[in-house]
Amino acid sequence: MLSVIIPTLNAKKHLPKILAQLEGCVDEIIISDGGSTDNTLGVALANETRIVMGCKGRGWQMARGANWAFGDWYLFLHADTQLGGDWLGEVEHHIKHFPRRAGYFEFKLDADGFWPRWVEFCVRLRCGLFALPYGDQGLLIRRDVYEAAGGYPDWQLFEDVQMIRQLRRRRLRTLHAAIVTSAKRYENQGYARKTLSNLGLLLRFLLGANPDALSKRY
């Protein structure tokens, strides 16, 4: 049984698209909401998802969703993503052939031009050299592997990095399908500036900085 867990916070604009993709393809969808004030919960209810609520912060929200999930496999997704290619076939192939490993999707941005492709190249480089996908690439993982790794920490930032570090390279695998993420933050802040800012925050985290303190600069 496959449970999809989506953390949300004022996600009514993006949520219908990802829910439409998942409809009829998975066994359970859990919306883990962090206090939305728009119609996110209305969208979730209209699509017959399960809803769990509590404090905001993706670490808390994903851990909370996992605690309420029934499935023996979890697929963690961000609300502003779209699944591309034969994503379902890749998920099913991974579940059948790689039960002890966690899978993540190839990263794409929903924008054209040089800078989106440059960011995608940087992400491929990071994943190839350091085995360090981020949460916007999704995470497919069996329940017992997730629990053995300690699950997502209750952090507001870099909960995804910590989860990957707990799994380590030998437990990771790229799914050969893309996940398309909104480029809005890059467009608002500037592609180069956003990329360098993210890298700076990551380095500070890896050197021991408090992730919740860093989240205020994100």
Helices (H) and strands (E) in the chain — how many of each? 10, 8
Mean pLDDT computed over 98-113: 97
C-alpha 158/C-alpha 134 separation (Å) is 8
C-alpha 178/C-alpha 173 separation (Å) is 13
Mean pLDDT (the chain, rounded): 94
DSSP bridge partners of 33: 8, 53
Is the predicted pLDDT of residue 67 greater than 80, yes or no? yes
- CATH superfamily label, 2-183: Spore Coat Polysaccharide Biosynthesis Protein SpsA; Chain A (3.90.550.10)
Distance between the two ends of the chain, CA-based, in angstroms? 35
The predicted structure's pLDDT at residue 167: 94
Instruction: Tell me how crowded residue 53 is: count the other CB atoms within 10 A of its CB.
Output: 14
Instruction: Tell me the pLDDT band of 218, cut-offs 50, 70 and 90.
Output: confident
Please report, as a single letter, which amino acid is at residue 135: G
C-alpha 142/C-alpha 80 separation (Å) is 23
Mean pLDDT computed over 67-87: 96
Is the predicted pLDDT of residue 9 greater than 90, yes or no? yes
Is there a contact between 176 and 90 (Cβ–Cβ < 8 Å)? yes
Is there a contact between 82 and 139 (Cβ–Cβ < 8 Å)? no
Is the predicted pLDDT of residue 113 greater than 80, yes or no? yes
Structure tokens at 75: 């697929």
pTM as predicted: 0.95
C-alpha 11/C-alpha 162 separation (Å) is 24
